[in-house]
């Protein structure tokens, strides 16, 4: 129950309890707390038994810990009825991303495209920099610095 409390925290709690309740009332407070914890545990166990009995015999091996998503996924990965390990091992993210990048840049996966010698290329064209686009430069607009007309109805 208190797996994450270290010895220093435990000593601090004990000292604070002695200071707050005093050495005379501390045993009574501890008994009351233990009684309350027992009642809560009994209530939760009876609620679990009621739920199991209401679900019926087909859910006799049902565990409430399986309702935690992490536990459920871990249990399903151990069973591997769905073939998730095969799917995970068959998926190569780096290869998929390289294919998508090549498709976006218009290259086929095996060879890189080079500019044709008959077409002149300017220094700002993507083909002269190996298919890369300089994202720090502002795009050149054909009309110069003209802004589109403002449409008050569209806003």
What pLDDT was estimated at residue 33? Answer: 93
What pLDDT was estimated at residue 71? Answer: 81
What pLDDT was estimated at residue 118? Answer: 44
Q: How confident is the model at residue 141 (pLDDT cuts 50, 70, 90)?
A: low
Q: How confident is the model at residue 60 (pLDDT cuts 50, 70, 90)?
A: confident
What pLDDT was estimated at residue 83? Answer: 63
Distance from C-alpha of 131 to C-alpha of 107, rounded to nearest angstrom: 9
Average pLDDT score over residue span 76-85: 64
What pLDDT was estimated at residue 106? Answer: 81
The domain spans of the chain are 1-61, 63-110
Choose between 29 and 89: higher pLDDT. Answer: 29
pLDDT at 35 over 60: yes
CB neighbour class for 88 (10 Å; exposed up to 12, middle 13-18, buried from 19):
exposed
Average pLDDT score over residue span 14-26: 91
Residue 74 token pair: 């871990």
Q: What percent of the chain has pLDDT over 70?
A: 66
Distance from C-alpha of 113 to C-alpha of 105, rounded to nearest angstrom: 10
What pLDDT was estimated at residue 29? Answer: 92
Place of tokens 């086929």: 108
Choose between 3 and 40: higher pLDDT. Answer: 40
């Amino acid at each position: 129950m208190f797996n994450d409390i270290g010895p220093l925290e435990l000593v601090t709690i004990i000292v604070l309890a002695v200071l707050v309740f005093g050495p005379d009332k501390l045993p009574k407070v501890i008994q009351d707390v233990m009684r309350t914890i027992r009642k809560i545990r009994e209530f939760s166990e009876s609620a679990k038994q009621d739920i199991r009995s209401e679900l019926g015999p087909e859910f006799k091996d049902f565990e409430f810990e399986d309702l935690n998503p992490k536990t459920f996924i871990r249990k399903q990965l151990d069973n591997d009825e769905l073939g998730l390990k095969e799917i995970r091992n068959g998926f190569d993210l780096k290869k998929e991303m390289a294919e998508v990048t090549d498709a976006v840049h218009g290259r086929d996966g095996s060879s890189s495209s080079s500019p044709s010698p008959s077409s002149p290329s300017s220094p700002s064209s993507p083909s002269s920099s190996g298919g890369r686009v300089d994202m720090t430069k502002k795009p050149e607009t054909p009309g110069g610095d003209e802004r589109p007309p403002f449409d008050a109805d569209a806003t």
